[in-house]
């Protein structure tokens, strides 16, 4: 588990640039595995949510990588599950995990991001034709 602490001392444009760069780097490996990104108000809160998420993943039998970050200005925590399009239809465990996270973390927003960019590549168009 990785924790990234963003400070409020950076100018807004610098903070956005750093955030975008970090997001691109962190999401580069999301294409092949299920990853949960947790954004919370504090490192302590993110760690608690991470423990809950790992317990829920274990309960439903879903392997999960957790990436956390703390942003002091957030009003609510956000838990985002990233998964490849190929897994969205075939793995009900991911959807069970999302439901469990919503139940056990009622004050957090739970999102599922299905990454379908590979579904629209020229390679996949050949398969459809």
The pLDDT, as a whole number, for residue 17 is 45
pLDDT band at 1 (very low <50, low <70, confident <90, very high): very low
The pLDDT, as a whole number, for residue 92 is 85
**Domains of the chain (ranges, CATH numbers):** 2-128 (3.30.429)
Alpha carbon 4 to its chain's center: 14
When pLDDT is averaged across residues 91-99 and rounded to a whole number, the result is 89
Q: pLDDT exceeding 90 applies to what percent of the chain?
A: 46
Rg value, the chain, Cα: 16
**pLDDT digit string, tens, across residues 19-35:** 544 555 455 444 557 89
Give CA–CA dist 16/113, Å, rounded: 21
When pLDDT is averaged across residues 80-102 and rounded to a whole number, the result is 87
Strands (DSSP E) found in 7-104:
35-40, 65-71, 78-84
pTM confidence score: 0.66
φ/ψ (deg, to 5) at 108: -105, 150
DSSP character for 94? H
């Amino acid at each position: 588990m990785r924790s990234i602490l963003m400070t409020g001392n950076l100018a807004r444009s610098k903070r956005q640039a750093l955030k975008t760069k970090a997001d691109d780097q962190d999401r580069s490996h999301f294409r092949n595995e299920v990853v949960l990104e947790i954004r919370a108000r504090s490192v302590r809160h993110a760690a608690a949510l991470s423990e809950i998420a790992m317990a829920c993943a274990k309960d439903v039998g879903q392997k999960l990588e957790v990436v956390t970050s703390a942003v002091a200005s957030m009003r609510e925590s956000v838990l985002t599950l990233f998964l490849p399009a190929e897994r969205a239809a075939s793995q009900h465990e991911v959807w069970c995990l999302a439901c469990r996270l919503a139940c056990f973390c009622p004050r957090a927003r739970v999102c599922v991001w299905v990454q379908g960019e590979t579904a629209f590549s020229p390679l996949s168009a050949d398969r459809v034709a």
